[in-house]
Every structure is written in C-alpha cells, then in structure tokens.
Homo-oligomer: A and B are copies of this chain.
C-alpha cells in the first residue's frame, strides 16, 4: 500500500419498501431503482425490505454488468429483506439473525415472520479489508407505547456485538441500514458507543438532501402522513455509519439524500429516502488518528448507556414474565376446564355441550402453552443480553479498581445470579 494511499467509496442505501401485495407501484419502483443504480455505478448498494426474491433476481440480472457481485440474506419465513450489490468481488459473507424480533401472534405487524438480521460482507479493496454490514431492526409502530422497545434495544446490542466480534481484523467498518431508531434513541447511542461507529450525517461537511437528514419525510407520497404528524420535518431512521482502525482515517466527503422524490424528481423510489455517501479512506496523519472505540473505563457515556440499556431490558423482562405467567394461568384454567368436561361426559350430564367444548379447551391449552413457551424464550434472550451488558460494565469496574484485594468481589460479580448488583 502506498503512503499516499487514498480510497474513494461510493455507497448507496435504501429501504426499498418492496413488500409483495402491499407496496404500491412495486414493479415500477424496482425497475427505476435498477436504472438509477446502473447509471450511478456505486461501489456498494445496500438494500433493505426487498421481501420479494423475484425482485432480487430481477435486480441481479439488470445490475450484472455494473455490480457483478450480489447476495441476498435469507432468514426467517419471509426473509430478512436484506440484499447487496457490489462492484467489487465479495470475499466472504455471514449473517446474524436477531434472537428477539417481535411476537408471532402480532401477525398484523409481521416483523416476527421476517427474521430480521444483520448481513456482513468482507471486501478487499486496494489491500484494505472492508467489513460492510447491512441491517434492518424491528419497526416502531407506536412511539408513545412501544411494546417492542426491549426487543429493538436487544437487537441494537446484538448488532453492536456482531460488529465488535467479526470486525477485529477489518481496516474499515461500514454499517448501513434502517435502524428504526431516531439519532438520540437508546439503541442508536448504545450501538455507536460500543462500536465507535460515526454517523455520516453528523460528520460530513457537504450534505444535501432532506432537512435535518430525515429519511422519512412528509413530502414523500408513500409515507403515512398521520404517523409523521408529531415530526413536521420527518424522521431520521436510516443511517450510514463508519469507522477505521488507527493508521487509517475515514471521512464522509459528501452525503446526499433524496427528498421525497426519486433522484430525478419523479415519483419516489420508496417510502424511505435513499442515502448516497462518498467516503474517503486514507492513511492517517498523526493529528487525524481515528480514535478507536473508547474502553468503558474512561468513557462515562458508554457506561451510562450500558446501564440505561440494562434497565430497559429489565423492564422488558418484567413484561415477558407477566405474559408468561398469564399464559401459564390460562393453561392451568384450560386443564381444569378439560377435567370438568371429562367429568361431565363421564357423568352423562350436558354430554353434547361438554363434547362441544372439549376441542376449544384443548385449543386454548395448546395456544396458551405456545405463548408461555415463547415468552420463556424471550426471558432467556433478554437475560442473555443483560448478562453481556453487565459483563462489559464489570470489566469497566475491574479496570478502574484492579487492586488485588478488590479482585474476589469483582470476580464474584463476574459470576451469574447477582443481577441486583447493577440495579
């Protein structure tokens, strides 16, 4: 690698709103997206909500001359909706499916069926290892009463951990996607603090696009205007985030977003706005050394956000326990009802009614049993994320007070079963 090495990387990100039978003007929008991507010839195009594999195949064929490498991340029942088109060969890919992703019985929300995930691509560009991640977190259906908050925070933590553990040999890390998180939301802060990723919108000096970088704007004809009422300018939930290891410096030269229309002022490509970033990677002069993600010791923002996340997951745990208990009681009642019905049948009284009620009560037991098991699983997943958060906090305390006499209690803390300690 030459000392005056410099790499320019043009990146495109869009939540495509490509949902069969639901999204308006799907075929036309996918066609125009393909035309636009071909014309612009980005290095990487990272897409979310491509929930039709046929549309991915169509785009693959259409983009083949410009983007010879492509990958669709399969997961869940419907699919993660994530896919990527690259001008450069993809060396490796991997994915992580989030442990928590809504509830199967919330069919009208549908997130559970998608298997939301994070996809990883490893590219080698001019001798540099680039780890590019694409993700889509659980949707926020109500900001006032967000029953999925604990799930989204857990997803943000799993995303941060996946990046942390898989990018240890990467020179540059890039994360694009629809986080369904506003910039100051807990999940977004947790992700940025733990990974050290920086926000292209906040970093760039050359931004053109929707006001305040919003990626869902009222000007977009596909957006549900009612949902955006509390936010007259719109909301910013889609991101381009990046970082480089010490020795390299990465900056966002330009950032563009669409503004409720397609890039040529036609009808929009999606209900979200597209992000188009030009990133520049070069050797880091001493004054520009990209700071590595700061360890927990010296960074109180990290410690504080970890504690906040821990508390949020604790609320989620209370909620999950409540549902598991309720479902457990229903199973118990169902069993009692079943026993009563059997007694009635045996006794010959109300025989027809008893037989009639027998099947619904079995259904009740099975249904409530499934809900019970699901929420037990939710408790386990929240508990796991809490243990990981707690571990990071403990390592911070150990680093702050490494005296030998304090070690036994610290190590005690490292073991499980003393959750109260963090409260």
Q: Report A's interface with B, CB cutoff 8 A.
A: 53, 56-57, 60, 64, 68-77, 79, 89-97, 99, 113, 115, 120, 161, 165-166, 168-169, 352, 355-356, 359-360, 362-363, 366, 373, 376-377, 380-381, 383-384, 387-388, 391, 395, 398, 407-408, 411-412, 414-417
Contact = CB atoms under 8 A, between A and B. Distances in A.
A206 to B, nearest CB: 33
B376 A69 contact: no
B416 A76 contact: no
Given A68-B411, A69-B414, A165-B166, A93 B391 contact: yes
B169 A74 contact: no
A260 to B, nearest CB: 32
A416 B97 CA distance: 20
A395 B122 CA distance: 13
Contacts of A384: 73-75, 95
Contacts of A94: 161, 165, 388
Given A68-B408, A387-B71, A60 B380 contact: no
A77 B391 contact: no
Nearest to A59: B415
Copies of the protein in its oligomer: 2
A330 to B, nearest CB: 17
Given A94-B165, A411-B69, A74 B381 contact: yes
Contacts of A383: 74
Given A60-B416, A75-B380, 6 more contacts: A70-B415, A75-B381, A76-B380, A95-B384, A120-B165, A165-B165
A380 B79 contact: yes
Contacts of A377: 76-77, 115
**What are the 10 closest A-B residue pairs judged by CB atoms, nearest first?**
A68-B411, A168-B169, A359-B359, A74-B384, A74-B380, A165-B166, A70-B415, A60-B415, A77-B377, A69-B414
Contact of A360 (B79, B89, B168, B359): B359
A383 B79 CA distance: 11
B388 A93 contact: yes
Contacts of A79: 380
Contacts of A113: 373
B169 A166 contact: no
